[in-house]
Amino acid sequence: MTDTSVRKKMTVTRFVDKKTRGEKIAVLTAYDYFMAKTLDRAGVDSILIGDSVGMVLYGEKSTHPVTMEMMLAHVKAAARGTQYALVIADMPFMSYQPSLEMAIANAGKFIQEARAEAVKLEGGIEMAATVRRIVECGIPVMGHIGMTPQSINRFGGARVQGRKEESRQYLIESAQALEEAGAFSMVLELIQADTAAEITAAVHIPTIGIGAGRDCDGQVLVINDILGLYDIYTPKFVRRYVDLPPLIEKAAREFVADVKSGSYPNDDESFLKRE
Ligand code: KIV
């Protein structure tokens, strides 16, 4: 008998097909081997090594200080832990904006050196030419529009996009331009829900929302947010599934107490016999 439930490796083609079949897509961020392995086992369709790493792991105030060197190390680690999910590497600030040559070279590093299967970059219609060139080089690209964190200073803060007619129009045109340039998918971040629904209907590639309502083809969240492992700022759209810090603190307190009282290590946790 054939086991039809055998899990298949997620490819860009299967990712896009999910939209055609009306199947929702679940994406989470991960930045290291163990987390990626755990999320992969949990069944996520894609693991995004986001430049959010700068904020949630390094304690930076924005994604701006994140470098290619940092991203390559995190993508490498997460890719090693991933068997089934599609591994997408986020291109950090100034790794693709200055020139097409730079964009292609850095996108290539994620594939060649870090074993990513696709890259993501921020920006709408103005980034279409960059997306096209990277795709022409054989590298799948995920777009990212709405409140794009690398441009937060231009937005004047984390403001919901797509509320005014001009913004709505720009987002729809941008989504269509990214699809036309060859992007296989795009993130819609912090976009008014009805505008995100309109964008989703206007393109044939999957839209992955974060703070963009329920009508996107899929959803992405930052892993630290859903585990309670980031306490500087929790956006309204985050659903916290577990609050890990108290559990971690309890374990660490017990360890400290056990060491101080001498109850750790016990005989079973020691190597007692001589050869
Ligand atoms: O950097 C990141 O984690 C992201 C997602 C939140 C979409 O870009």
Catalytic residue of the set 189, 249, 269, 275 = 189
The residue to mutate among 52, 57, 238, having the most atoms of ligand 1 within 8 angstroms of its beta carbon, is 52
pLDDT of residue 273: 84
Alpha-carbon gap, residue 109 to 49, rounded angstroms: 14
Alpha-carbon gap, residue 170 to 248, rounded angstroms: 45
Q: Extract the tokens encoding 162.
A: 């797509």
pLDDT digits (tens, 9 = 90+) for 113-158: 999 999 999 999 999 999 999 999 999 999 999 999 999 999 999 9
Contact 122, 147 (CB under 8 A): no
Atom of ligand 1 nearest to the CA of 63: 1
Q: Does residue 109 register a pLDDT over 90?
A: yes
Catalogue all structural domains in the chain, each as residue range(s) with its CATH number. Answer: 12-243 (3.20.20.60)
Looking at the chain, the whole-number percentage of residues with pLDDT higher than 90 is: 97
- pLDDT higher at 61 or 3: 61
Give nearest CA residue, ligand 1 atom 1. 50
Looking at the chain, the whole-number percentage of residues with pLDDT higher than 70 is: 99
Distance 87 CA to ligand 1 centre (A): 13
What is the band of 5 on the pLDDT scale with cuts at 50, 70, 90? confident
Distance 52 CA to ligand 1 centre (A): 6
Average the pLDDT over 165-194 and give the result: 98
185: part of which helix (H) or strand (E)?
Answer: strand 185-189
Atom of ligand 1 nearest to the CA of 51: 1
The pTM score is 0.96
- Residue 111, CA distances (Å) to 44, 75, 114, 116, 138 in order: 20, 10, 6, 5, 10
Give nearest CA residue, ligand 1 atom 3. 50
First to last CA, the chain: 52
pLDDT of residue 228: 97
What is the band of 3 on the pLDDT scale with cuts at 50, 70, 90? low
Alpha-carbon gap, residue 48 to 221, rounded angstroms: 9
101 carries an active-site annotation: no
Distance 48 CA to ligand 1 centre (A): 7
Which residue type is seen at 7? R
pLDDT of residue 205: 98
pLDDT of residue 274: 78
Distance 6 CA to ligand 1 centre (A): 29
3-state secondary structure of 160: coil
**Residue ranges of the alpha helices (H) in the chain?**
12-21, 33-42, 53-56, 68-80, 100-112, 128-136, 152-155, 165-181, 193-202, 223-226, 244-261
Q: Does residue 104 register a pLDDT over 80?
A: yes
Give how far the C-alpha of residue 170 lies from the chain's centroid of Cα atoms, to the nearest Å: 24
Q: Does residue 4 register a pLDDT over 90?
A: no
What is the band of 1 on the pLDDT scale with cuts at 50, 70, 90? very low
Q: Does residue 183 register a pLDDT over 70?
A: yes
- Residue 89, CA distances (Å) to 46, 50, 105, 201, 248 in order: 11, 7, 14, 26, 29
Atom of ligand 1 nearest to the CA of 29: 3
DSSP string across 208-275: EEESS-TTSSEEEE-HHHHTT---S---TT------HHHHHHHHHHHHHHHHHHT-SS-GGGS-----
pLDDT of residue 67: 98
The residue to mutate among 27, 142, 210, having the most atoms of ligand 1 within 8 angstroms of its beta carbon, is 210
pLDDT digits (tens, 9 = 90+) for 203-219: 999 999 999 999 999 99
Average the pLDDT over 66-71 and give the result: 98
What lies within 8 Å, CB to CB, of 259 at 6+ separation is none
What lines the ligand 1 site, CB under 6 Å? 29, 48, 50-52, 90, 187, 210, 220, 222
Contact 125, 173 (CB under 8 A): yes
Atom of ligand 1 nearest to the CA of 120: 8
Contact 115, 127 (CB under 8 A): no
